[in-house]
Structure 1
C-alpha cells in the first residue's frame, strides 16, 4: 500500500467518525429538548397593560419557566400550563367568575382553569376591589369580599406583589428581600403568642390572612404588632370583617 492509498483510507475513517459524532450530538440535543423542557406559566390579563411585562422580564422566572402572556384567546390550550397568574381582576370579572358566568374571553379562560384544577395566583395589586376600600359602603364591600373569599376557598391564591415570585416558586415561608439568615426566616414563621384572653401578639414580620384567621379562632379581638410589621391587604380586610383591631407594642 503506497502513501496515497494510506492517506485516503485515513481520511475516510476520519470522515466516518466525524459523521458518527455529529449524529450522536443531534440525538443528545433532541433528547435534552424533550427531557429538559421548562414548565409553562400563563399570564392572563383583561387588558394588555404593564403587569404582564413585569413578569415576562423577571429574570428568575424566565430561568425556570417558559412564560406566555395571553390576550384572552379562548382557544388557548390550558392543559400545557403548570401555573396561571391573573395580571388583573376587575370587579365585573370577580362577580362573573364566582357565579360561573364566562361571557367574556377572560372570564371563560379563568373558569376553565378553575374547572381543570390549575394553580391560579392573583397579586393583590391586580384586584380592582381594593381601590374602593376607603370609599365603598361596608355592607357592599363586605359582599364583594365574600366573593373573594369564595375564590380563596376553591384554591385560588392571593398575595402581595413582593410575595408573587416566592408563591410561584412554591416557597412556604416568605422572607424579606434583604434577609438571608436562617434565624430571620424562622422568626417570620413563628406562631402568635397569647398575651391576654382577647389579645394575641405576632412576632412575624409579614402577617397574612391565615394568621388573622388563626387569631380569630383563638377568639382574639386585638392583635399586637411591631412598627415594622407588614400586614397584607387580605389580612386587613379579614380583620375588619371580624372586628379585630391592631395595636403597636
Structure 2
C-alpha cells in the first residue's frame, strides 16, 4: 500500500467512525420521547450513569446542560436531574440570588414547576449531619427543606431511576432533631436581678464559661430567662458545684 492509499484508508476510517458516533445522536433528536435534562457544574461518573442509563433511555431522551453550554429551553423538558447540590448552590437557590449558569437553570426549573431530582450522595450539607453544631445545621437544613417544598426530590442514587419513572420516592433524608432546650427545675417564680449570693445571666445561650464566671464570684444561684438554652456542659458544671439555675 503506497502513501496515497494509506491516507485514503485513514480518512475513510475516520469518516466511518464519525458517522457511527453521530448516528445515535441524530436518532435521539428525532425520538419524540419526553426529555430529561442532566444539570451539573462539572462532568463526573455519576451524571454519566444517568445520561447513559438504558432504563431511562426506554422512556426518555436524556440530554446534558453542560454539553449545551447551558443554552437549554427548559420548557421542553419534563424533569431535571441536578448533580452537585453544594452549600453555595443550595444557598443561591433558597435565597433566589442565582448568578451562575447552573443555578439560573435550576431556579428556572423550579419556577416553571418542573420536577427536580437530586441524588442524596451529592447534597453537601448532609455530609455534615454528625459534625455540625445542631443549631447551625438545623438553620441550613431549613434551606434544603424550602427547596424540597418547591419541588425538589432528594433520594439515593440507586433509587433515582425508579423515582423518575414512577414519580414516587420514599423520604431518604432524615430531618435533624430540634435543638433541645434543657429544662432546669425552677425555685421561686420571681427573682431579683443580682444581689447577695444570686446572679443573673441575660443571654440566649448559657454556657459553662458563664456559670464558671458566676461561681468564681461566690454566687450559688443563677437566674436566666425562661427561653434560655443551657448547654449540657453548663448544666453539669452547675450541678457539680452546687450552683442552682433558675428560670424566671
Query: TM-score when scaled to structure 1?
Result: 0.56
In our comparison, the structure showing a higher alpha carbon Rg is 2
Correspondence list, 1:32-51, <5 A: 37-51=32-46
Aligned to 1:59: 54
Which has the higher mean CA deviation after the structures are superposed, 45-54 or 91-100?
Answer: 45-54
5+ residue gaps, structure 2, are 1-28, 181-248
Select the residue among 121, 128, 141 that pairs with 2:124: 128
Paired residues of 1:46 and 1:89 also in contact (CA < 8 A): no
| CA root-mean-square deviation | 2.2
Aligned to 1:227: none
Partner SS, residue 158 of structure 1: strand
Deviation at 1:242, TM superposition (A): 8.0
C-alpha separation between the residues in 2 aligned to 1:119 and 1:69? 16
Aligned to 1:166: 162
Correspondence list, 1:1-249, <5 A: 37-71=32-66, 73-172=69-168, 208-209=170-171, 232=172, 234-235=173-174, 237-238=175-176, 240-241=177-178
C-alpha separation between the residues in 1 aligned to 2:118 and 2:44? 15
C-alpha separation between the residues in 2 aligned to 1:101 and 1:171? 29
Paired residues of 2:135 and 2:179 also in contact (CA < 8 A): no
Partner SS, residue 82 of structure 1: strand
Paired residues of 1:74 and 1:108 also in contact (CA < 8 A): no
Deviation at 1:104, TM superposition (A): 0.7
Deviation at 1:78, TM superposition (A): 0.9
Deviation at 1:74, TM superposition (A): 4.0
C-alpha separation between the residues in 2 aligned to 1:84 and 1:242? 34
* Change in 2 beyond 3 A, CA 1:62/1:150: same
5+ residue gaps, structure 1, are 1-32, 175-207, 210-231, 244-249
Paired residues of 1:41 and 1:83 also in contact (CA < 8 A): yes
C-alpha separation between the residues in 2 aligned to 1:41 and 1:128? 23
C-alpha separation between the residues in 2 aligned to 1:74 and 1:160? 25
Partner SS, residue 37 of structure 2: strand
